[in-house]
Amino acid sequence: MAHQAPPKDAGAVGPLLLYPDGRLQRAGVALGIGGGAAHVHRLLRPDEEGNFKPRALPQFVSSMTADCMLVRKKKFSVVGSFNEENSAVAFNDVDLWLKLSARCWQNLFEPRSTLVHVEGVSRGRGHDPTGTARLATEIAALEKLWSAGGTRDHYHQPAHSRFSEQFALDV
């Protein structure tokens, strides 16, 4: 990631994240999947071919996660940092990446930087009534700010389903 550190005309750079069992956790985030935004290629094995194995190539993306990312401090400040008011837990990173894109700074997924990430350990899974209500509020905020649920991500192939994180064809 340091090699691809954001040049002056780029937004941020993020790595490929794996679950401890080796399956893909995050290889970018696409808008419109599941009515909000979701991780692409989630739960696939890194060696699965899939659709020409795009997760193996550096590429521009609308969004990634902030679990690990590089962004220039000045750009982080210019876009207003994280939106903790509307997204205390979920989607504040998506919002940040989208704000960078809105300034015409392209964001990059860098799979040659691969990390193991244990998701949710520090904050829990949020599958209780309180967590579910918070997530619904944060999805609504993402939709209001970015029309995320009704917008097809311009980096996400239109032939792929809006209901699959694995880039399944929309049939």
Which segments within the chain are labelled E, that is strand?
Answer: 10-18, 24-26, 29-31, 37-39, 59-61, 70-71, 106-116
Q: Which pLDDT score is estimated for 62? A: 87
Asked if residue 128 belongs to a domain, the reply is yes
3-state secondary structure of 70: strand
Domain tally, the chain? 1
Asked if residue 159 belongs to a domain, the reply is no
Residue-wise pLDDT for 122-139, tens only, equals 555 566 788 788 888 888
Asked if residue 135 belongs to a domain, the reply is yes
Q: Which pLDDT score is estimated for 171? A: 67
Asked if residue 107 belongs to a domain, the reply is yes
HSE of 151 in the Cβ direction (CA atoms, 13 Å)? 17
Asked if residue 169 belongs to a domain, the reply is no
Asked if residue 5 belongs to a domain, the reply is no
Q: Can you give the length of the chain in residues?
A: 171
Q: Which pLDDT score is estimated for 122? A: 54
Asked if residue 142 belongs to a domain, the reply is yes
82: tokens are 């994280």
HSE of 73 in the Cβ direction (CA atoms, 13 Å)? 0
10-18 and 106-116 strand pairing:
parallel
- Using a cut of 0.85, tell me whether the model's pTM lies above it: no
* CA pair distance 126, 133, nearest whole angstrom: 9
CB 41 within 8 A of CB 72: no
Structural domain containing residue 96: 10-146
> Each residue of 50-66: b (16+ CB within 10 Å) or e?
beeebbeeeeebbbbbb
Asked if residue 117 belongs to a domain, the reply is yes
Q: Which pLDDT score is estimated for 22? A: 92
* CA pair distance 43, 18, nearest whole angstrom: 9
Q: Which pLDDT score is estimated for 56? A: 78
> Which stretches of the chain score pLDDT less than 50?
none
